Amino acid sequence: MLGDALTTRRWDNAVLSLTLYSPAPLMPFWGGFGVVFCFFFFSMGFLHDQLPDADRDDRAACQGQDLHVQKAHPLPQLDRGAHQRRCALVALEDVKSYLLEECGQIAVFDATNTTRERRDLILNFAKENAFKVFFVESVCDDPEVIAANILEVKVSSPDYPERHRENVMDDFLKRIECYKVTYQPLDPDAYDKDLSFIKVINVGQRFLVNRVQDYIQSKIVYYLMNIHVQPRTIYLCRHGESEYNLLGRIGGDSGLSPRGKQFSHALKKFIEEQEIVDLKVWTSQLKRTIQTAECLGVLYEQWKILNEIDAVSERLL
């Protein structure tokens, strides 16, 4: 579920993280704004570097291209494929151990599962162990988005410890071309019509959702449709001092005290100094937060979920 695909930081037509989980009753715990499940992230890239023969990297798949992982004597394609398959099997065994022996609930298998053969391997593994599978495919054909993503994510990647920025761009674009050779996208109209998956197209410009079957899959879809990769600033602010604060009372729905109103004016001045474009303000439905926000002079939204949790029997006071 998590991982690269969920952050939608992927390259052109690359795929696929997937979620595997047991259909047995899950034991969620409550946190924040919803239900949280215990999950773990399994990275094929990490295994590729840790297992013996780590130089057998699919990034050297394009013969004759000067990729940073390509050696003077590249291994035959069959050897590279065998090493990739071995890494996948080792990672899947870790997934199995996590879900069946370590009380895990959700496993994220992060890899470039770009071929039907690889995805069928995973599906057969899931069937043998009674796991459910949900694929996440991120597709991007916008050159500007791809370039920005490479510079933002890959320049600081340990894959490129000694590279200059321009070399990283060139290297990774070549890597994309390598994946295009064997890439087989999920096909909702024929071969993959019975699978559960979501396609995220151009970092959230469009989505294609296929056969969402349960609560977990619906939550993954909801999450993916509400994330972004653009940097944003979020300010968390308490309301100004309330009348009940002066009386030492907990809870209730009192308005602002004179000092609370003074605070709201100071907050307005601070926000104006930030020169925020398209400012959005959320408040609870309580008077003290609404009065604090009204002073800002911008539209605001009231959210019940932001209301203070009832303190004892405050509604009886």
Would you kindly state where each structural domain of the chain is located, as residue ranges? 15-224, 243-316
For residue 303, the one-letter residue type is: W
pLDDT of res. 106: 87
What would the pLDDT profile of 184-211 be if each residue is shown by its tens digit?
A: 999 999 999 999 999 999 888 999 999 9
Active site residue 308: yes
pLDDT category, 149, cuts 50, 70, 90?
A: confident
Question: Which is catalytic among the residues 57, 110, 137, 171?
Answer: 110
Query: Which CATH topology does 15-224 take?
Result: Rossmann fold (3.40.50)
What would the pLDDT profile of 219-266 be if each residue is shown by its tens digit?
A: 999 989 988 777 788 999 999 999 999 999 988 899 999 999 999 999
pLDDT of res. 145: 84
pLDDT of res. 71: 35
Question: Which is catalytic among the residues 140, 171, 192, 241?
Answer: 140
Share of the chain above pLDDT 70, in %: 67
pLDDT of res. 23: 53
Active site residue 228: no
What is the Cα–Cα distance from 221 to 219, expressed in whole angstroms?
5
Active site residue 237: no
For all residues of the chain together, what is the average pLDDT?
77
Secondary structure (H, E, C), 186-230: CCCCCCCCCCCEEEEECCCCEEEEECCCCHHHHHHHHHHCCCCCC
